[in-house]
Chains A and B, each alone.
Chain A
Amino acid sequence: MTWFLDHIPEVLDLTYRHVYLAGLPLLLGLLIALPLGWLARRYRPLYLPFTAGFGLLYTIPSLALFILMPGFLGRQILDPVNVIVAMTIYTVALLVRTVADGLAAVPDHVNNAATAMGYGRGKRFFAVELPLAVPVISAGLRVAAVSNVSIVSVGAIIGVQQLGMLFTDGFYRFFYDPIIVGVVGCILLALVFDLVIVGVTRVLTPWLRASGGHP
């Protein structure tokens, strides 16, 4: 505990970097997964190759991806961009299927009603399909958020600054305190990400509250 009190500014700085490295890829990944998921839903033959194909990216072990990324991007190994791109890849891998399934879960009669009311394809997507798919997409985003926070910490092995650096610091000095602070920090951060997504989802889906959970 005293170690933590003596190192608050350092821990806060690492936390800030961790939020950036785990959070920005969530947004980027969602932006990329939305059109891909839409394509997978819209064109049936694309569903399997898209969901299974992007899903395969998630199987690549994080340390391996962190090491290969700089080579492929032509950047230095400590450049945060490597981690951002790697984490975006993992987020897309998880979300393409979620987005496609979320859009597929919108009832046909709702889509038909929107069409009958004169909604064009674009307007129907943004005003009807996407909002109704929010609960499913948000569930996938929660999984991605929690897993991102945990995976980013592995970057400490190659020296990327974030909460995981507390793990390597404690390991090399054979000292528990920084590791415990890092683990607790990571878990709290995952919880905060989760709460933020749940909160945003609630704001975006007022009808779920009005009807007690059933659209």
Chain B
Amino acid sequence: MAAGERGPPVIQDIIAWLSDPAHWTGEDGVLRRTLEHLGYSGIALVIAAVIAIPAGLVIGHTGRGRFAVVNLAGAARAIPSLGLLFLLFLFLAPRVSGDAAFLWPSLIALVVLAIPPILSGAYAGVESVDPAARDAARGMGMTGPAVLLRVEFPCALPLVFSGLRSAALQIVATATIAAIVGLGGLGRFLIDGQKSRDFPQMASGALVVAVLALLVDFLFALAQRYAVSPGLTGRGARATMRHTEVAVRAAAGETEAIRPVDRSRSRQ
């Protein structure tokens, strides 16, 4: 596409900006900013996961608070992240000093936005566990917490991971926006570039953020594939085996003792 005078020749700009080694190193280089971005995102994801995974598992296990979770997850999507970030900033910035003025509002916004997808992933994961697996576990003498940790949680892992994955993407995107209140990370290139009318810097930063998001997504897909029991993903030799049997066997530490579950009773 021949870029006219009005349209910025974005690709040449990006190539030129990114091929300047000075933009990669130092305090405000791409490498340092990428690490900052990953650091803030990682901290927020861990905090959100520590809160939301146990809560989601317990809600899925007991069935209590189900209504609240379903509605919360839907309603949370409607919260505009930029508005939430600014409200937290206005409220917290005068109350704390130094770096905390932008750090706290940003991290809280990231955690708040990450909790609903993780919570609903964990909850839906436990709820989708085949009742037969649960019954089998109880029949083997497992108590409630043991059923949750050794059968329901492993069976719920695929959905727990997909919750974490959407939360991670939400965090990476919102951390970019948080540069406007002063957070470090790759968003700096977008916001600072805009202030100084440096379009190549903005566009290059935007491209790097997009690539980072794709990589994060890819890593989560990979982790999901390898962290989840082979019986659940269909990897491995006994791919056709129904996952519930496998889970119960895995839970019991057995291999071949259980007979195949009656296939006619599979979920509708």
Contacts and interface: CB of A to CB of B under 8 A. Distances in A.
Interface residues of B, number: 47
Nearest to A58: B169
Interface stretch (A7-15, A37-45, A66-74, A110-118): A66-74
A174 B181 CA distance: 12
A156 B8 contact: no
Interface of A is mostly: helix
Nearest to B214: A59
Nearest to A73: B7
A211 B234 CA distance: 37
B87 interface: yes
A71 B10 contact: yes
Given A67-B203, A191-B78, A186 B190 contact: no
Interface string A175-214: 1100110110011001100000000000000000000000
Interface in B1-34: 1, 3-4, 6-11, 13
Most chain-B Cβ atoms within 10 A of its Cβ — which of A68, A143, A164, A186?
A68
A87 interface: no
Contacts of B203: 67-68, 71
B87 A179 contact: yes
B89 interface: yes
Interface residues of A, number: 45
Interface string B136-177: 000000000000000000000000000000000100110011
Most chain-A Cβ atoms within 10 A of its Cβ — which of B7, B8, B78?
B78
A176 B90 contact: yes
A47 interface: no
Most chain-A Cβ atoms within 10 A of its Cβ — which of B80, B169, B176?
B80
25 contacts: A59-B217, A61-B173, A63-B176, A63-B206, A64-B210, A67-B203, A68-B206, A70-B8, A71-B13, A71-B203, A72-B10, A73-B7, A75-B6, A75-B7, A146-B78, A147-B77, A149-B78, A150-B77, A150-B81, A158-B194, A168-B86, A171-B89, A182-B83, A183-B83, A186-B80
Interface of A: 56, 58-65, 67-68, 70-76, 143, 146-147, 149-150, 153-154, 156-158, 163-164, 167-168, 170-171, 174-176, 179-180, 182-183, 186-187, 190-191
Given A64-B210, A65-B210, 6 more contacts: A64-B207, A67-B190, A154-B177, A164-B83, A171-B181, A186-B80
